[in-house]
């Protein structure tokens, strides 16, 4: 997945992280509602802003480095009852480990470590928004409009699984 960025969904001022499918014929975008602090953490890392003292995600990167562990990849795995789930795939001296994570935290770490972000195909089938080819090059507003329509029409039972 390609991280397009973080946008603020109006009028609720809700941050949305936008991920676009890189290798797919369907040109899908996965919008995920996230919290404000996580949005700020992702945005600042994308902009290359280095705080004078490590913030939470910077601290986690430092802890991984100290433990000789690396973040191999992030996988956004599923959505249940409007909540997205992710995994951190770590390589450690003791072997490979998978740690459950919120997608926003996982993405914030991936940006800082330049690790790839993936999404399960079943998740993309369920929650991604297909963008027509003529809208695929940077037209995030069209994607957000389609996502708003989705949010207006979605019911909890749509996510029952």
Read off the CATH number of the domain in which 44 is found. Answer: 3.10.690.10
Q: So what's the pLDDT on residue 25? A: 75
Q: What is the pLDDT of residue 12?
A: 78
**Which pLDDT belongs to residue 133?**
67
pLDDT at 62: 96
Q: Distances in Å between the alpha carbon of 11 and those of 8, 15, 94, 148, 149? A: 9, 11, 48, 11, 14
Q: How much is the pLDDT for 10? A: 76
pTM over 0.75: yes
C-beta atoms surrounding 107 within 10 Å:
30
User: How does pLDDT run across 38-91, given as a tens digit for each residue?
Assistant: 999 999 999 999 899 999 999 999 999 999 999 999 999 999 998 999 999 999
- Count: domains in the chain: 1
Tell me the residue range of the domain where 117 lies: 2-159
The whole-number pLDDT of residue 140 equals: 61
Q: Using only the alpha carbons of the chain, give its radius of gyration.
A: 16
At 93-137, the pLDDT tens digits run 999 999 999 999 999 999 999 999 999 999 999 999 988 766 545
Which DSSP string do the residues of 36-54 spell out, in sequence order? HHHHHHHHHHHTT---SS-
Please give the structure tokens belonging to residue 56.
């939470």
Q: Which of 43, 4, 34, 42 is nearest to 20 (CA)?
A: 4
pLDDT of 152 > 70? The answer is no
């Amino acid at each position: 997945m390609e991280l397009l960025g973080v946008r603020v969904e109006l009028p609720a001022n809700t941050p949305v992280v936008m991920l676009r499918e890189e290798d797919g014929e369907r040109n899908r975008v996965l919008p995920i509602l996230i919290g404000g602090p996580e949005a700020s953490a992702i945005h600042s890392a994308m902009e290359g802003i280095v705080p004078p003292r490590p913030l939470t995600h910077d601290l986690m990167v430092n802890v991984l480095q100290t433990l000789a562990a690396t973040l191999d990849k992030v996988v956004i795995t599923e959505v249940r009852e409007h909540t997205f789930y992710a995994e951190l795939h770590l390589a450690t001296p003791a072997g490979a480990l998978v740690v459950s994570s919120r997608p926003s935290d996982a993405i914030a770490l991936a940006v800082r470590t330049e690790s790839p972000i993936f999404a399960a195909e079943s998740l993309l089938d369920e929650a991604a928004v297909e963008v027509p080819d003529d809208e695929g090059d940077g037209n995030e507003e069209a994607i957000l409009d389609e996502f708003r329509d989705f949010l207006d029409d979605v019911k909890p039972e749509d996510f029952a699984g």
